Structure 1
């Protein structure tokens, strides 16, 4: 579209005032700038919109038709501008989260927020921690929630809670108190490379044991739990992800000596991200809900 909002604004003001001088004073520009804007508009439309009568600009038949069509459009755009300048409860926010947070925390957070603020739309993208960092850097999402650590100068990270990782299995015979080194030769199922859960766990045990016997890598926590329920193997997983299975007894926490593997849940965003009112409000709401959820575990 070649017509600009500024040209429309000047056109409407000239219709209202009838004199270029008055419009120029009101808009604090030169009279020649107003005149040039009207001429540019007429050139775009291909026809004059004003008749010049007695030093006044009077709408002609083309101008009256244009005025009728453009006035409600301009008013709507003005209303939209005002609304977005004066409300933080309307808009679209793009959220990304790692698998553990998406599966066990983020859906309820988003539903509660959108129930409270029906004019806010939220899109949710899932991935491992590395994926979410990449999405932030590429501008695909506005804010991310991951676990582990981020070593990237473009990313701002804020710790919003501590998550506990535990070793679990369905094997009823793993009922002793083990050292991690005594279990490394058993079959382990872990998340794929790039997963925050995997990275934190392997970094934690790397100086405590020989390399694990990793016989399967999967991209989703629920898939790992399904394997555990049907095979004799182990995994290290967020306690949040297996709370219900631990209560039902379908999975058991394997007791390991001197094993206290914890990680940060992080809220991340780009260092150059503009913090709108909507961004700030959602970030505060989500981080507080994650903190509350972790306290109840």
Structure 2
């Protein structure tokens, strides 16, 4: 499109006022700038839109038709500009989160935020920690929430909570106190490479276990829990993701000796991200609510019934 909003704005002012001198004074432009703008608009349209009568510009039949079409569109643009200039609580936030956080924390946070700010739209993308970090680096999301290691000087990382990883099974016979090396040759099902849960667990046990018997890798926590229910195997998983199953006796937490595997929940965003008022409000809101949920144990385990 060759027409500019500035040309249309000047055109509408000329229609309302008629004299270029008065238009120039009101818009704080030179008279030659106003005249040039009208000439450019007419050149783009290929026809004059004004008749020059008694030193006044008067719409001709082409101009009247153009004005009828363009005036409501320009008013809409002006209304949108005014609305966004004067509303800090309107816009879209693109959020990304790793699987554990998507399943057990983010739904409550997003629903609560949108109840407080109904004019804000939120899109949520899921991925493992590595994928979310890549989205932040590429600018395809505004903010991410992860639970693994994140590298890169271009990413701002803020700790917002601590997550405990536990070893669980559906086989009650394995629930006696054990050391991690004693269970290394049992069958383990873990998350896929790039998962924060997997990376933190394997890094934690690397000094104690030379070769863990990983017989299956899956991309989702719920899939791992399903496998556990039907096979004699083990996994290391976020405690918040199995609280319901542990409480109901469907899974059992193994009493691990000298095992305290924890990780940080991180909020991440690009160092060059423009921090609008809307963005800052979402950061504060999410940080506060997620911390309360983690510390208070009010994650969405009940939603998996």
TM-score band by shorter chain is over 0.9
Distance 1:88 1:284 in 2: 15
SS state at 1:148 partner: coil
Q: How does 1:133-172 map to 2 (within 5 A)?
A: 133-172=133-172
| Matching residue of 1:231 | 231
Distance 2:85 2:162 in 1: 36
SS state at 2:207 partner: coil
* 1:81 lines up with 2:81 in the alignment: yes
Q: For 1:155-202, what per-residue CA distance to the aligned partner results, in whole angstroms no more than 9, with x for missing partners?
A: 111111111111111111123221111111111111000000000111
| Matching residue of 1:118 | 118
Task: Report how many aligned residue pairs link the two structures.
Answer: 297
Distance 1:73 1:102 in 2: 40
TM-score, normalised with respect to structure 2: 0.94
4+ runs of 1 displaced by more than 3 Å? none
Distance 2:270 2:23 in 1: 43
Distance 1:26 1:104 in 2: 57
SS state at 1:173 partner: helix
Q: How does 1:84-123 map to 2 (within 5 A)?
A: 84-123=84-123
Greater alpha carbon shift after TM alignment, 199-208 vs 171-180? 171-180
Distance 2:207 2:98 in 1: 26
Q: How does 1:4-83 map to 2 (within 5 A)?
A: 4-83=4-83
Distance 1:284 1:134 in 2: 23
| Matching residue of 1:280 | 280
Instruction: Specify every segment of 5 or more residues in structure 2 that has no aligned partner in the other structure, as ranges.
Output: 298-305
Instruction: Compute the displacement of 1:33 (Å).
Output: 1.2
TM-score, normalised with respect to structure 1: 0.96
Instruction: Compute the displacement of 1:68 (Å).
Output: 2.1
Instruction: Specify every segment of 5 or more residues in structure 1 that has no aligned partner in the other structure, as ranges.
Output: none
| Matching residue of 2:210 | 210
Aligned-residue CA RMSD (Å): 1.3
Distance 1:3 1:88 in 2: 30
Greater alpha carbon shift after TM alignment, 11-20 vs 127-136? 11-20
